Amino acid sequence: MNQFPHDSNLTMNILLEVLVESKDHLAKALYLQLDNCFRENKNRFLLSLMALLIQLDIFEEIYVNFLPVGHTHENVDQMFSKISVGLKRANAYTVEDLISIIESSYTPAIKVALSTKMLNIKEWLIPHMHRNFKGHSRPHNFRFRKVDGKAYMQYREWCTDPWHPLPRDGVETPGLLCLMTIPNIDKPPEWVVPSLVKLDVDGLLGAFQMVSPTE
């Protein structure tokens, strides 16, 4: 309901919630396919979180793939199109109505979660991130692995390209470091303070205002 910014914190919180929910069934490798949006997905915060998941041995490998411009339609869009159809057929006057419509609009039923709190993972990561973090807007593929006890990131523009950084003088380069130090997981991030500044209260009231029919 716009009480939290739609930025990388939102993406990272949702991802961690799903991983915690699936903690007993996690594989050795994580594959993420994300929209090529810098504000929510393609940024140094999300990439640093991937490096942290490798450093903490949550996964052995992580692959993050961003969809190219003009080719962003995929199978998950079918689910969202069904939600759109469901909302055109029924009015959602409350949050409970909205959840019910979403759940019943697709088979198998969609699991809906209401975000009422959010960790400020961005601010938690910043003191530990590499200061020279740049050039990540162009590649579409990223790979994270641990080499000699450290989590490294490799990148390439397309899936047919070799992984970078390329070998130097015949010596393979393990990759780039996203994190200079490792955050203390015993001291979790602070909570994001919710704000209703962007909530259009007047617009909501107008939508529910009863208007007398004209004669």
pLDDT tens over the chain, length 215 residues: 788 999 999 999 999 999 999 999 999 999 999 988 899 999 999 999 999 999 999 999 999 999 887 766 777 888 999 999 999 999 998 999 999 999 999 999 999 998 899 999 999 999 999 988 889 999 999 999 999 999 999 999 999 999 999 988 888 889 999 999 999 999 999 999 998 887 777 777 776 664 444 44
Is residue 109 in some structural domain? no
- Going by C-alpha positions, the residue among 58, 62, 57 that lies closest to residue 32 is 62
**Token pair 């973090």 in the structure block, residue:** 133
- pLDDT at position 2 is 82
Give CA angle at 40 (34, 43), nearest 5°.
85
Is residue 82 in some structural domain? no
Give the number of domains in the chain: 1
- pLDDT at position 187 is 94
Predicted TM-score (pTM) of this structure = 0.89
- pLDDT at position 170 is 81
Is residue 194 in some structural domain? yes
Is residue 96 in some structural domain? no
- Going by C-alpha positions, the residue among 74, 13, 50, 77 that lies closest to residue 136 is 50
Note whether 45 and 122 are within 8 A (CB). yes
Q: How many helices (DSSP H) and strands (DSSP E) are in the chain?
A: 6, 4
Q: Residue 14 and residue 158: Cα distance in Å, rounded?
A: 27
Is residue 59 in some structural domain? yes
Q: Residue 209 and residue 195: Cα distance in Å, rounded?
A: 25
Pinpoint the alpha helices (H) of the chain: 8-21, 44-55, 76-89, 95-104, 121-125, 201-208
Q: Please state whether beta strands 150-156 and 141-147 pair in parallel, antiparallel, or not at all (unpaired).
A: antiparallel
Is residue 99 in some structural domain? no
Is residue 47 in some structural domain? yes
| Identity of the amino acid at 165 | P
Is residue 203 in some structural domain? yes
- List the domain range (segments joined by +) for residue 143: 8-71+116-208
- pLDDT at position 168 is 85
